């Protein structure tokens, strides 16, 4: 699991954020599906509580907190927008991960979120889900597809995005209120 630093006494957390993009559809062959029972389904009008389950379960080890700060109405306005697509990966009938494509800006698509439920990390599903999501995004023929990651994400996140064909174009360091210090995410130290 991640090497997330313990909370600092000042309640702050320093992040190094890397922005990556892809300006043309990949020419690689599709990532083969792992040999197991899988289903990848678009979730239309996903209930907010199910989105929160996925977001919190997938994101808690990496301190994903932004969507936790949104009330149900604000979150529903985002995830129910016709230009936001949510895909759930099921393995053996169990939710194993999800991807969120945000098409709300003309000519570009943001890979807003992508991740696996912790029980499925290391099973080969991450690369498959990423490649499938990238291929799905390019069916819209955007000018570019982009994503950002940070030093708190899975230790292989950045290299996995780069291996999939995304290229880093900007990096910045910022300081945020640690979501464990504010109580948004419980500290399990």
Q: Is residue 159 part of a domain?
A: no
Mean pLDDT value across the chain:
94
pLDDT value at position 6?
86
If pLDDT is split at 50, 70 and 90, which confidence band does 3 have?
A: low
Q: Is residue 50 part of a domain?
A: yes
Q: Is residue 78 part of a domain?
A: yes
Q: Is residue 7 part of a domain?
A: no
Please tell me the pTM assigned to this model.
Answer: 0.94
44-93 pLDDT, tens digit per residue, is 999 999 999 999 999 999 999 999 999 999 999 999 999 999 999 999 99
- Tally of domains in the chain: 1
pLDDT value at position 34?
85
pLDDT value at position 180?
95
Buried b (16+ CB within 10 A) or exposed e, 15-36: eeebebbbeeeeeeeebeeeee
Alpha-carbon dihedral angle through residues 146, 152, 154, 157, given to the nearest 10 degrees = 30
Mean pLDDT throughout 133-140? 97
Measured CA to CA, the distance from residue 65 to residue 175 in angstroms comes to 14
Q: Could you tell me the CATH number of the domain that includes residue 122? A: 3.40.630.30
Q: Is residue 125 part of a domain?
A: yes
On whether the CB atoms of residues 160 and 120 are closer than 8 A, the answer is: no
Sign, CA dihedral 52-124-162-154, equals positive
Tokens describing residue 26: 């990949």
Domain residue limits at 90: 37-148
139-165 pLDDT, tens digit per residue, is 999 999 999 999 999 999 999 999 999
17-31 pLDDT, tens digit per residue, is 999 999 999 988 877
């Amino acid at each position: 699991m991640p090497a997330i630093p313990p909370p600092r006494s000042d309640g702050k957390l320093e992040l190094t954020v890397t922005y990556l993009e892809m300006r043309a559809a990949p020419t690689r062959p599709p990532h083969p599906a792992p040999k197991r029972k899988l289903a990848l389904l678009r979730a239309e009008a996903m209930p907010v509580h199910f989105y929160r389950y996925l977001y919190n379960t997938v994101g808690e080890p990496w301190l994903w907190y932004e969507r936790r700060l949104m009330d149900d109405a604000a979150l529903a306005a985002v995830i129910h927008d016709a230009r936001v697509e949510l895909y759930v990966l099921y393995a053996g009938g169990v939710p194993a991960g999800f991807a969120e494509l945000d098409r709300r800006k003309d000519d570009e698509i943001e890979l807003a979120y992508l991740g696996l439920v912790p029980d499925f990390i290391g099973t080969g599903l991450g690369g498959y889900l990423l490649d499938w999501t990238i291929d799905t995004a390019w069916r819209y023929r955007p000018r570019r597809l982009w994503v950002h990651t940070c030093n708190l994400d899975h230790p292989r996140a950045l290299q996995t995005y780069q291996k999939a064909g995304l290229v880093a174009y900007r990096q910045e360091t910022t300081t945020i209120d640690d979501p464990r210090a504010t109580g948004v995410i419980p500290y399990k130290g």
